[in-house]
Every structure is written in structure tokens, then in C-alpha cells.
């Protein structure tokens, strides 16, 4: 998916105050997408991350210009494998070795790789069969190169067949076919599952059943009671449904990293500056608390750094924290 957000007036002091807090609060990073023809060059983007103390980045493919710009930056990086590479990486261990030798080894340790993402939202689907074997081959290649970098995959919550109440969270039968061995692989290696969590889309598609305040973290009290757990926001409920599904397939000890979350500032239902600002600020404030089921700080990545003009028209173009001219989309204030 593609979700990112923010808003705009003054730039210098605003950027520093906004993103300094962004990165200092419990593992908040920002996705850096490149689906635009008017974006700053990678070196300028890295400077923007650094000048605003954003210390975590996610990119969707091993773009060498970005990797070069990241050298010596101390920005931790999540890097994705392109979908076109999944089948060859799954079927040929030497292809995985070549991928690692081409895209990781030349940049390490001057680039701080955190995770390699094998597939973004491809389970379930035609490419799902290639994810697990590709993960195994990439992890073996990384280990053989002496690199302490973990492999995972990023999934949308469409992998869940049941999510309400959160304790009933379970994978769909099709998704479970692929997810069960992946979860067990992650558990054996101490790697997290990467999950894209978008209360915006759940609210948009079920606005007659979900209160906006529940989606925006602004409910004053518990909205959903699930046994011993009380839920004041949809984000926690979605995340805990994922944890419950993982527990059912042997993943009780597997952590979750939220690789995407956001709210669009334009282009669709309930997509406006006010809602985007509220959601992102509250997300930043909230991640240090964890969820009712797992009350520990959450590592999360806002989607994304920029509004990207070559994405599909509508909300997809309007998730950015910044416009392409590096002006913030809206100001964030923190207590």
C-alpha cells in the first residue's frame, strides 16, 4: 500500500522541531518512495533526514543512488527486494548470493542495514509462493557474507480472515499456507514480521460502523472490550489481531514492526489536513506505549517522506510528510 502524511507553513524551524521529535520517539522512521518525477535528489533527501534527526528509512528497492547517499549517515535502513526478483531468488541460491553481493555487501558497514524485505503485500497472491524460499536464500546469503542483517516480508492486513474482536485474529486459509512457515522461520531467527497498518482504509470502507475518533486515536474511553483488553483506538486493535493470528501458528514470540502507516491529506473520503495531522501526531505519541496485548514500544515507519506525483491519482499521491520542494505538508506540534 502507500500511505504518508503531513502539512506546511514555515520550513526551517518547523522541520527541525517536527522531525527531531519524529525520530526521537520510540523508533519512528519514514518510508522514502521514488514514484515521482519532481523529487529531490537522494543526497538532498538524506540531508533532510539528517537535519531533522530522522534516524530510520525504508526504501522499496536497492536503489544504488540512495545507497550511495546513505553512506556514513547513521540512518538505519530497511531495503526491499523488487517483486520481479522474487521468483529467481526463490529458485536459485546463487541469484540470492549475487543480489546480496551487488546490493548489500558493497555498502556495508557504511550503510546501516536493518532488515531486507522480501515481498511487500504479495501474500496472498500469485507471487506468494516465492516469498518463503526467497527469504531463506537471501538470509543464507547474508549469513555467508558475515552480515548481521535479518530478512522478513511485509504484509497487509488482508492476510487476516478474522480480526474482530482482536483476540479472534486469524489468517485466511490461503494466507496461512504461506504465513505459517514464514512465522516459524522468523521465530527461529529472532526476526520480526513487517506489517502495514492503515486505520484510514478500515475507516473509509466501514465508516458506518467505525467512529472517526476511534481511527484517529481521539476516543476518550474504551470503544472495544475484548476479554481483559480494552481498545481506545483502531490501530491497536488491528495490530493485536495480527499478534493473535501469529500466536495461532507458533509466532507468540515474534515481534511486529509496522512498516507503513499513515493518513492521506487529500484525494478521498476523510482525507484532509486536519485528519492527517491528528492521526500522525497521535501515532507518534502512541507508539511508545505498545498495544493492550503487547505493551512494549513499537517500531513504526510513516508512509511516506514525499507526496509522489506518479502514483495513482487520489489518496495515493497524498500521504507525504513533505512536498517535493521539501516544504512540510502540515506542521506537527509535540508536548
| Per-residue pLDDT in tens (0 to 9) along the chain, 335 residues | 533 323 333 333 333 344 444 444 447 899 999 999 999 999 999 999 888 778 899 999 999 999 999 999 999 999 999 999 999 999 999 999 999 999 999 999 999 999 999 999 999 999 999 999 999 999 999 999 999 999 999 999 999 999 999 999 999 999 999 999 999 999 999 999 999 999 999 999 999 999 999 999 999 999 999 999 999 999 999 999 999 999 999 999 999 999 999 999 999 999 999 999 999 999 989 999 999 999 999 999 999 999 999 999 999 999 999 999 999 998 764 23
pTM of structure = 0.92
Task: Collapse the DSSP code of 21 into the 3-class scheme (helix H, G, I; strand E, B; otherwise coil) and give the result.
Answer: helix
Helices (H) and strands (E) in the chain, counts: 11, 12
| H/E element, 184 | helix 173-189
Angstrom CA distances, 144 to 88, 101, 148, stand at 19, 10, 10
> Could you tell me which of 332, 319, 306 has the C-alpha nearest to residue 264?
319
Set of cell numbers at residue 78: 530497511
Rounded to 5 degrees, what are φ and ψ at 151?
A: -110, 145
Q: Write the DSSP symbol of residue 192.
A: P
- Tell me which residues are annotated as active site: 121, 260
CA 146/CA 166 separation, integer angstroms: 39
For cell 536459485, name the residue: 92
| H/E element, 185 | helix 173-189
Task: Collapse the DSSP code of 233 into the 3-class scheme (helix H, G, I; strand E, B; otherwise coil) and give the result.
Answer: coil
Amino acid at each position: 500500500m502507500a500511505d504518508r502524511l503531513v502539512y506546511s507553513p514555515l520550513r526551517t524551524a518547523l522541520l527541525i522541531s517536527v522531525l527531531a521529535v519524529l525520530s526521537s520517539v520510540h523508533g519512528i522512521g519514514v518510508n522514502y518512495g521514488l514514484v515521482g518525477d519532481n523529487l529531490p535528489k537522494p543526497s538532498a533527501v538524506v540531508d533532510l533526514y539528517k537535519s531533522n534527526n530522522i534516524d530510520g528509512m525504508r526504501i522499496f528497492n536497492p536503489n544504488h543512488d540512495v545507497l550511495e547517499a546513505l553512506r556514513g549517515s547513521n540512518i538505519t535502513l530497511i531495503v526491499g527486494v523488487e517483486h520481479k526478483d522474487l521468483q529467481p531468488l526463490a529458485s536459485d541460491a546463487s541469484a540470492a548470493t549475487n543480489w546480496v553481493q551487488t546490493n548489500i555487501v558493497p555498502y556495508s558497514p557504511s550503510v546501516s542495514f536493518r532488515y531486507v524485505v522480501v515481498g511487500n503485500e504479495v501474500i496472498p497472491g500469485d507471487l506468494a509462493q516465492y516469498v518463503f524460499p526467497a527469504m531463506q536464500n537471501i538470509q543464507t546469503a547474508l549469513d555467508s557474507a558475515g552480515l548481521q542483517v535479518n530478512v522478513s516480508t511485509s504484509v497487509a492486513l488482508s492476510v487476516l480472515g478474522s480480526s474482530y474482536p482482536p483476540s479472534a485474529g486469524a489468517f485466511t486459509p490461503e494466507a496461512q499456507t504461506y504465513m505459517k512457515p514464514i512465522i516459524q522461520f522468523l521465530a527461529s531467527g529472532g526476526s520480526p514480521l513487517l506489517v502495514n497498518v492503515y486505520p484510514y482504509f478500515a475507516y473509509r470502507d466501514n465508516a458506518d460502523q467505525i467512529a472517526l475518533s476511534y481511527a484517529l486515536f481521539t476516543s476518550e474511553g474504551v470503544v472495544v472490550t475484548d476479554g481483559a483488553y480494552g481498545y481506545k483506538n483502531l490501530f491497536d486493535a488491528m495490530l493485536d489481531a495480527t499478534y493473535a493470528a501469529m500466536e495461532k501458528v507458533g509466532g507468540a514470540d515474534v515481534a511486529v514492526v509496522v512498516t507503513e502507516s499513515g493518513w492521506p491529506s487529500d484525494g478521498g473520503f476523510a482525507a484532509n489536513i486536519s485528519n492527517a495531522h491528528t492521526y500522525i501526531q497521535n501515532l507518534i505519541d502512541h507508539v511508545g506505549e505498545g498495544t493492550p496485548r503487547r505493551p512494549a514500544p513499537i517500531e513504526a515507519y510513516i508512509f511516506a517522506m514525499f507526496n509522489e506525483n506518479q502514483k495513482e491519482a487520489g489518496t495515493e499521491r497524498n500521504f507525504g510528510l513533505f512536498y517535493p520542494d521539501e516544504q512540510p505538508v502540515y506542521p506537527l506540534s509535540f508536548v
